[in-house]
Amino acid sequence: MTLVESIEVVVGRIGKPHGIRGEVTVDVRTDEPERRYVDGAVLQAEAPRGSAFAARTLTVSRTRWHQGVLLASFAELADRTAAESARGVVLRAVVSPDESPADPDEFYDHQLVGLAAYDVEGTHLGEVAGLVHGAQDLLRIRTVDRREALVPFVIALVPEVDVAAGRVVIADRPGLVTPFADDTDEGEDEA
């Protein structure tokens, strides 16, 4: 068995350039930007498919907030042309696998993947196979019958997450994780 020494977590995505000195907007994907975007922090850089951007890491040299948007300067982005080439780059921070967000109701993706999923009555539904980040975070559940279900990661539908016990509870509804009941055998087709 190998021990995992570190995990990469997504902390943002580079947006458009701001000015001519290489400053960029950042779509922040962490609730702790003051912790992840400190001067001197080295972030892993993942360029979008087809991008010519070559840097594998970016070093934060300065950040500031402007009208609710994080603006960042990186040592590797000296001018607007370099900043434009970095558009769409996903930023990841390396964290200890034991590290947790400060808020007890927040979780890193790696803490959730692999957790068993149960409904509120205790029926095993499957396991968390991943997360989808978009306008609304979604849990990707691999069901016991090998289907995939996407569950909005909100307290109304996921009322309990117990990382220590290795489980999440889902307030399942027909069509969410369990399929709709097959009503073809309930009677004759009407003509």
Residues 126 and 82 in one domain: no
Average pLDDT, whole number, for the chain? Answer: 89
Residues 69 and 125 in one domain: no
* pTM for this predicted structure: 0.65
Question: H/E element holding 141?
Answer: strand 138-143
58 vs 178 pLDDT, higher one: 58
For 31-56, write each residue's pLDDT tens digit: 789 989 999 999 999 999 999 899 99
Give me the CATH number covering residue 41. Answer: 2.40.30.60
Contact status, residue 158 vs residue 171, Cβ threshold 8 Å: yes
**Residues 89 and 146 both lie in one domain:** no
Position 184 scores a pLDDT of 35
Residue from 122, 167, 159, 127 nearest 144 by CA: 127
Same domain, 56 and 126: no
pLDDT tens-place string over residues 117-176:
999 999 999 999 999 887 789 999 999 999 999 999 999 999 999 999 999 999 999 889
CATH code, domain carrying 157: 2.30.30.240
Tell me which residue range forms the domain holding 19. Answer: 7-95
Asked whether residue 33 is domain-assigned, the answer is yes
In the chain, the number of structural domains is 2
Verify that 13 and 86 share a domain, yes or no: yes
Domain co-membership, 80 together with 12 = yes
* C-alpha distances out from residue 191 to 80, 184, 185, 188, Å: 68, 14, 16, 9
